[in-house]
Amino acid sequence: MLLLLLMQAAQTTPTPPPTSYVQPWVGALAAWVALGFLGLIGVAILYYVFTGKINLSGLISEPTGDASMSRFQLLVFTFVIAASLFLIIASSTPSPQFPKDIPSGILMLLGISASSYLVSKGIQQTSPEGRAGRGPEVKIAAEKNLTTFGGDTIQFGAEVFGIEDKTVLWTILDPPGFGTIDADGLYTPPASGQPDTIVIKAASKEKLNVSDTESIRVEQAG
């Protein structure tokens, strides 16, 4: 009897341990959380772009202002891959599916785009023309674009390109005398008045004809 039991135990196939299984909704939830986080970052970036805190003038152009094919190519491929990933995550149908193996052609094209940008930057940095910045320019930005009579001050900032002296002169261009602005770009609204849009000007101290303007709004409190 003992021998039969041993033979039977030897012939019995052991049951494999149960494999872990992740519910489909868990993966979908994780994907949407990641996608929402990236979306919030994108909204924040767009906000800073529209408020002037992020300057996109050099996104697809060289410091001289000339168009850059390598930057444009890398930007396009980045958007294509991001849009493809969004389509795969957000699609409610079984198709399209994320490939098990990323096609080598896509990786090759992405590598070419990145390497061409790096090579162009290396060539640019080896020549005086490439290291030279853009022409004389002043870029102005405000920390916010709205205040009230007798309310909060607004701090302006200005970047100067292509000019050795980085000092700027601040003036209230329109309407003149509507509040005050000091030498550091701090605007103080008037105590009272009619709501209006104010234009602030920052001009290079070295070259007064090189300047930029920014508009803000002063409204009634409450």
- pLDDT-wise least confident of 2-16, 19-33, 49-63, 201-215: 2-16
Taken as a whole, the chain contains a residue count of 222
Residues 6+ apart with CB under 8 A from 219: 146, 147, 148, 149, 195
C-alpha to C-alpha distances, 64 to 27, 131, 132, 138, 165, nearest whole angstrom: 47, 9, 7, 14, 19
Residue that is written with structure tokens 């405000």 in the block: 142
C-alpha to C-alpha distances, 78 to 39, 144, 145, nearest whole angstrom: 15, 31, 32
> How much is the pLDDT for 202?
95
Kindly report the pTM of this predicted structure. 0.45
> How much is the pLDDT for 142?
92
Q: Is a pLDDT exceeding 90 seen at residue 182? A: yes
Q: Is a pLDDT exceeding 60 seen at residue 21? A: no
- Residue among 64, 72, 74 at smallest CA distance from 114: 74
Q: Output the average pLDDT for the chain.
A: 76
- Residue among 186, 193, 185, 182 at smallest CA distance from 150: 193
> How much is the pLDDT for 47?
81
Q: Is a pLDDT exceeding 90 seen at residue 213? A: yes
Per DSSP, the chain holds a count of helices (H) and strands (E) of: 5, 8
Q: Domain 137-219: give its CATH architecture.
A: Sandwich (2.60)
Report how far residue 137's alpha carbon sits from residue 149's, in angstroms, rounded to the nearest whole number.
32
Residue span(s) of the chain under CATH 2.60.40.10 come to 137-219
pLDDT tens, residue by residue, 132-170: 555 688 999 999 999 999 999 999 999 998 888 999 999
Do residues 120 and 68 lie in contact, with contact meaning Cβ atoms separated by under 8 Å?
yes
C-alpha to C-alpha distances, 30 to 27, 36, 100, 133, nearest whole angstrom: 5, 10, 19, 44
> How much is the pLDDT for 8?
46
Q: Is a pLDDT exceeding 50 seen at residue 3? A: no
Q: Is a pLDDT exceeding 80 seen at residue 18? A: no
Q: Is a pLDDT exceeding 70 seen at residue 196? A: yes
Two structure tokens written together for 18: 């149960």
> How much is the pLDDT for 125?
62
Q: Is a pLDDT exceeding 80 seen at residue 206? A: yes
- When pLDDT is averaged across residues 162-179 and rounded to a whole number, the result is 91
Report how far residue 179's alpha carbon sits from residue 188's, in angstroms, rounded to the nearest whole number.
6
> How much is the pLDDT for 54?
67
- pLDDT-wise least confident of 7-11, 12-16, 176-180: 7-11
Do residues 189 and 220 lie in contact, with contact meaning Cβ atoms separated by under 8 Å?
no
Q: Is a pLDDT exceeding 80 seen at residue 82? A: no
- Residue among 144, 142, 154 at smallest CA distance from 189: 154
